[in-house]
Amino acid sequence: MQEERRLAVLRAIVEDYVATEEPVGSKSLVERHQLNVSPATIRNDMAALEEEGYLHQPHTSAGRVPTDKGYRLFVDRLSTVRPMSSAERRAISSFLDGAVDLDDVVHRSVRLLSQLTRQVAVVQYPTLSRSTVRHIELVALTPSRLLLVLILSTGRVEQRLVELDTELADDDLAALRSRINLAATGELIADAVAALQALAPRAAEPASEQEAGAVLDPAAAVVETLVEAMSDHRSDERIVVGGTANLARYGDSFDTAVRPLLEALEEQVVLLKLLGEATSGGAVTVRIGTEGPYEELSSTSVVATGYGPGDALASLGIVGPTRMDYPGTMAAVRAVARYVSRILDES
């Protein structure tokens, strides 16, 4: 019995604290919620919750504030993910449906997320490693200069220039094009790399070939560049951030909260780590405060999830203060991830 009420008290404290941004006391709690007990009783419960580590009081004579552990319990057991209203859902889909290409999808997503949650939004580009090759095109700009265009299932397009040591006849080009596409089209990146290297084994040791001054076979040169483009992990790491203006709402605690966060947002590596934890199961992942390796971000939470087929393509999410509206934020993140997944599937 008391146990149940204590959880209700915790939930009420989290909700009030998120709404008012001020430590919440026993009196205001009973006023704002139908708890049907007196403030004194609440005080006892709060003392117990504090004993267990779910609450904390900044000063002896102040109200209570949830700890990270308190938020964790709230997120795991006390909050129900509020479903999006149909109006919100319509807004999401109509906003994302207007996207013309992958870049546009990513940028629109980040904008949408930051507006829905009023937090800083982060969207990772679809990872190369999970996508498949849709098509490879070779274009002869001049007889000895090829443009390679690599089109992936996610809509990503990579292009590279290749200078050949020799000139290449149109017929040979067409033959090479079809051989390459036969080998790679439809394959996962990793498999395509293997298949291409099997096509032109000499490309496996390009350094020694070139050092020896030998003329590089056109096929080998093309394969080498393609493999390089496919293994280019720089592109894997691309991330788009939006809604930093929402940081202005932090108000207090500029140095302790905003500054480290701004620094983290510039560090793609950190962001990728934070998002990376979320790429696993289909659910929305929440990292609260000091959970995880980054002490500087002790007062920020990350709400993220994977998207794409199996939610395994890449991640998106938001970064905000631990004092945030978790149910609403989680719902928004989940909804956007779903729509993005659907759009990527269709295109």
Residues contributing to the site for its own copies (CB under 8 A): 100-101, 104, 134-135, 137, 139, 141, 147, 149, 151, 157, 159, 232, 234, 242-245, 247-248, 254-255, 258-259, 262-263, 265-266
Q: Report if residue 290 touches DNA, rule: CB under 7 A.
A: no
Contact flag: residue 195 with DNA (CB under 7 A): no
Shortest gap between Cβ of 139 and its own copies (angstroms)? 5
Is 108 one of the binding residues for DNA (CB under 7 A)? no
φ/ψ (deg, to 5) at 118 = 55, 40
Return the number of the residue (23 or 155) whose C-beta is nearest DNA.
23
Q: Which of its own copies, DNA, none sits in contact with 147, Cβ below 5 to 8 A by type?
A: its own copies
Q: What torsion, rounded to 10 degrees, do the Cα atoms 84, 87, 90, 95 define? A: -90
Using the minimum distance from each CB to DNA, give the nearer residue, 9 or 128.
9
Asked if 134 and 152 touch (Cβ cutoff 8 Å), the reply is yes
Closer by beta carbon to its own copies, 73 or else 297: 297
In DSSP terms, 320 is beta-bridged to 301
Distance CA 242, CA 219 (A): 42
Check residue 1 for interaction with DNA (CB under 7 A).
Answer: yes
- Is 306 near DNA (CB under 7 A)? no
Closest contact distance (angstroms) between CB of 24 and DNA is 6
| Rounded distance between C-alpha atoms, residue 276 and residue 329, angstroms | 18
Q: Which does 104 bind (CB under 5 to 8 A by kind): its own copies, DNA, none?
A: its own copies
Distance CA 14, CA 158 (A): 47
Least spacing, CB of residue 109 vs its own copies, in Å:
15
Taking CB atoms within 8 Å and a gap of at least 24, the contacts of 265-273 are: 265/120, 265/122, 265/241, 265/319, 268/237, 268/238, 268/239, 269/237, 270/294, 271/122, 271/239, 271/241, 272/124, 272/237, 272/239
- Provide the 10 A C-beta neighbour count for residue 174: 11
Among its own copies, DNA, none, residue 50 binds (CB under 5-8 Å by kind): DNA
Torsion of CA 280, 286, 288, 293, to 10 degrees: 10
Q: H or E stretch including 185?
A: none
Q: Show the binding pattern over residues 28-67: x = contacts DNA (CB under 7 A), - = does not.
A: x-------xxxxxx-xx-xx--x------xxxxxxxx---
CB of 28 or CB of 231, closer to its own copies: 231
Closest CA to 332 of 113, 122, 127: 113
Check residue 2 for interaction with DNA (CB under 7 A).
yes
User: Radius of gyration of the chain from Cα atoms?
Assistant: 26
CB of 56 to its own copies, least distance (A): 26
Residue 304 DSSP class? E
> Is 77 or 259 the residue whose CB approaches its own copies more closely?
259
Stretch that binds DNA, among 21-29, 120-128, 146-154, 259-267 (CB under 7 A): 21-29
Tell which one of 10, 12, 18, 23 touches DNA (CB under 7 A). Answer: 23
Pull the structure tokens for residue 40. 């004194």
Positions touching DNA (CB under 7 A) are 1-2, 5, 23-28, 36-41, 43-44, 46-47, 50, 57-64
